[in-house]
């Protein structure tokens, strides 16, 4: 069984949002087109409390994109984004949400951020996605969404860690590319065995 993981295609990550990924909205028509090709479709949704510790606003004298050390290690500080119940946390209005069989909300614990769809940034606290996919008989996952070098990328690495075959659909993703983060993620994928394809190859 093969599942499509649609990662964080939310208003705040698209142009005009609080933390826009360049051309983030360009992934929407690609994702809408490919969803019918999958047995199982799961969406993820960043879902932060307003005082989340990954927000630069919670650290005096710090600016977005600086880093701090939290209990689980280094953390990039972000503009406030995807706050629970806010408009920015909503899915992009053109994204077809009907095929979603499950929605995994992540980053809702104030003390720890959550890039991956499988684990929070402490690499220990599970989101429940692995168990859900196992119960559905999934052995392969394809990933799409935002952003390639953060939430999509770490989700792909954790998918492999959990024993799934993982493939990133590159034209269904867009990257932030913060100080070379996209190339660094590609190198991690190569070492971990994450595959990459385009939507035309599905």
Which active-site residues does the annotation give?
A: 8, 106, 151
> Order of strands across the sheet with 102-106?
102-106, 40-46, 2-7, 140-146, 165-174, 195-197
Query: What is the DSSP code string of 76-114?
Result: E-B-S-SBTTSGGGSBPTTS--TT-SEEEEE--STT---
Reduce the DSSP state of residue 146 to 3 states and report it. strand
Six-digit token string for 55: 């927000």
- Which of the 8 DSSP states describes residue 21? P
Handedness of CA 172, 199, 139, 196 (dihedral sign): negative
């Amino acid at each position: 069984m093969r599942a499509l993981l649609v990662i964080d295609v939310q208003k705040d990550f698209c142009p005009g949002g609080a933390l826009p990924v360049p051309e983030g909205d360009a992934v929407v028509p690609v994702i809408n087109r490919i969803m019918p090709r999958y047995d199982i479709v799961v969406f993820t949704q960043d879902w932060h409390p307003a005082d989340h510790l990954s927000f630069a606003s919670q650290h005096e004298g710090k600016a977005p994109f600086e880093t701090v050390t939290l209990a689980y290690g280094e953390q990039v500080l972000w503009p406030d984004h995807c706050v629970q119940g806010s408009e920015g946390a909503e899915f992009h209005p053109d994204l077809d949400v009907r095929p979603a069989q499950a929605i995994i909300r992540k980053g809702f614990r104030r003390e720890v951020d959550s890039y991956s769809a499988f684990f929070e940034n402490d690499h220990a606290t599970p989101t429940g996605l692995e168990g859900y996919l196992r119960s559905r008989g999934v052995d392969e996952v394809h990933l799409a969404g935002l952003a390639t070098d953060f939430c999509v990328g770490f989700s792909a690495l954790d998918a492999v860690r959990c024993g799934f075959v993982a493939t990133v659909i590159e034209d269904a993703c867009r990257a932030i590319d913060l100080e070379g983060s996209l190339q660094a993620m590609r190198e991690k994928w190569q070492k971990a065995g994450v595959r990459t394809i385009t939507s035309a190859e599905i």
